[in-house]
Amino acid sequence: MKRCILTVVCFLAISACAATEEESKEEFTARLPDGTVVELVALRNYSIGDLEQFKDRNYPWWRPDGTAIVEPPDTFKGRTSSPRTYWFVIGVKEGEGHDFKAVGPYGGGLSYGRDLTVQPVRQKAKNFERDDLRYFSLRFLPDQKQGDIELGLATGDWKVTDRWSLEPDWTPYNLTIGSADQIVLRCPEQVGSDVVAEVTQIVTERATRLVLFDRDGNQYESGGSIRGEGVGLLRYIHRFKNFDRKEVEHVEFQARPYEYWITFRNISLQVGHETRVAVDIKQPGALLEGNSLPGFDNIDPDFAAATNRGGTLLICFFDMNQRPSRRCIGDLAKQAEQLKEKGVAVVAIQASKISQNSLDEWTKHNSIPFPVGMIARKEEITCFTWGVRSLPWLILADSHSVVIAGGFGLSELDDKIRAAKQGQRLP
């Protein structure tokens, strides 16, 4: 009987430990609306000063709550001269082709910026071979025992922001190509068996890549690696292995926004220092139901007065140079009087910078009966702040400038207004 009782107690203890470990793992996991699962797997010291005590190079790894682990996910034994730097590994499930950016207090490795790309682990440990593991390094303050990190996650479609055809006689020494997207491309060149290109760009809330197309229409992608930075600037080196420069038909610079930000709070920066890790997920730039409207700081004229009319406000971001936008504004113009009767005021905002005269002439020619303004400064940042992901983009707000709905089609407008007046929750 005693042996049976002892067996039951041992079984319950093992089960409790397993359950506790599983619950602890869940604390380090972010589950995104699109089904992607991101887990902060482990971390270790990465600085020479912190690793001098481990002469056998058997560097200890631990979980984000400070718990030591026996089987690390990465067998890489490298180190850096930068003080207080840590090597992080994350695991990604149910998601393919995602791009990440890591943000910490200082940056990582030899980088003195705050933003770092997250790259695939090259030396996976046993039992981790099939996992999608990514790594990055970040620095922290000397006296920190725990800290926070952020991961930006880009999941959407890539958009071409600039495109260049290359002439055979162009070289990096006779051509540097500018761009409307605030980047500078140093003409791709042949380096051994590879094609290498250099891009200098401003720091934005976007994942970027350089894509080469050969003469048969095949594309070759490069996320690039950071090889230099200044205030607000990054220099990337893009290497396309085993590629002949003569086969390049054209080059594209592509970008997509970081749609989610995952924050892991209270990560232990010392093995054995116990913390309770918390995970937050935010979707920046998305004006969700219940959020307040941003300010009209970068928009001319200032539409603040339009938001104080005591009724519902419909805002349409558009581009008069795009057919869908022109059609949407035209349909809104036809419905303006009916919307006014329903207590809905309409304003339209030109999302890309054009001359004020062109906008005024177009507005007058098309008899637009509601105020039309334009983003006069910081177009990209303003669109991001307002959650504009495509054009045209509609936002419906109540008399207190609180968002009722956003990003819907014009055919849904009546339903949105009706549901709002009835106090229903909008999908």
The residue ranges of every structural domain in the chain are: 26-156+259-282, 159-256, 299-421
Average pLDDT (157-161) is: 87
pLDDT tens readout for residues 29-43 = 998 877 889 999 999
CA 88 to chain centre: 19
Cα distance between residue 10 and residue 5, in whole Å: 9
Residue range 228-238: average pLDDT? 75
DSSP letter (8 states) at residue 293: P
Distance CA 416, CA 40 (A): 39
Cis peptide before 301 (omega within 30 of 0): yes
pLDDT, residue 426, reads 42
| 299-300 and 312-318 beta bridge pairing | unpaired
| Type and span of the H or E element at 331 | helix 323-341
The reported pLDDT for the residue numbered 274 is 94
pLDDT for residue 112 is more than 50: no
DSSP for 369-390, written as a single string: -S-EEEE-S-HHHHHHHTT--S
pLDDT value of position 27: 65
Report d(CA 394, CA 315) in Å as an integer.
6
Burial label for 400, CB within 10 Å (0-12, 13-18, 19+), is: exposed
* Residues above pLDDT 90, as percent of the chain: 36
CA end-to-end span of the chain? 60
Rg of the chain's alpha carbons, rounded to an integer?
A: 27
DSSP for residue 318: E
- C-alpha span between 388 and 197 (Å, rounded): 32
Quick: pLDDT tens for 312-322: 899 999 999 88
Find out whether 114 and 105 touch, Cβ atoms under 8 Å. yes
Report which of residues 354 and 300 the model is more confident about: 354
Greatest CA span in the chain, whole angstroms?
94
- Domain 299-421, what fold? Glutaredoxin (3.40.30)
Q: What was the pLDDT predicted at 21?
A: 41
Q: How far is CA 234 from CA 204, 228, 401, in A?
A: 10, 6, 37
Only one residue has tokens 């906008």, namely: 359
The contacts of residue 344 (CB under 8 Å, 6+ apart) are: 311, 312, 313, 314, 417
Q: Which of 389, 208, 189, 374 is nearest to 285 (CA)?
A: 389
The pLDDT value given to residue 57: 66
Give the C-alpha separation, 325 to 348, whole Å.
10
Q: 337, 348, 276, 278: which is closest to 306 by C-alpha?
A: 348
Q: Is the pTM of this model over 0.75?
A: no
Contacts of 109 (CB under 8 A, 6+ apart): 46, 80, 82, 85, 116, 137
Fold of the 159-256 domain: Immunoglobulin-like (2.60.40)
User: What is the CB-side half-sphere exposure of residue 336 using CA atoms within 13 A?
Assistant: 16
Spell out the long-range contacts of 186-191 with Cβ–Cβ below 8 A and sequence spacing 24 or more: 188/212, 188/240, 188/245, 188/248, 188/251, 189/245, 190/244, 190/245, 191/239
Please state the φ and ψ torsions of residue 212, each to the nearest 5 degrees. Answer: -100, 145
Question: 9-18, 176-185, 236-245, 388-397: lowest mean pLDDT where?
Answer: 9-18
Average pLDDT over residues 43-69: 85
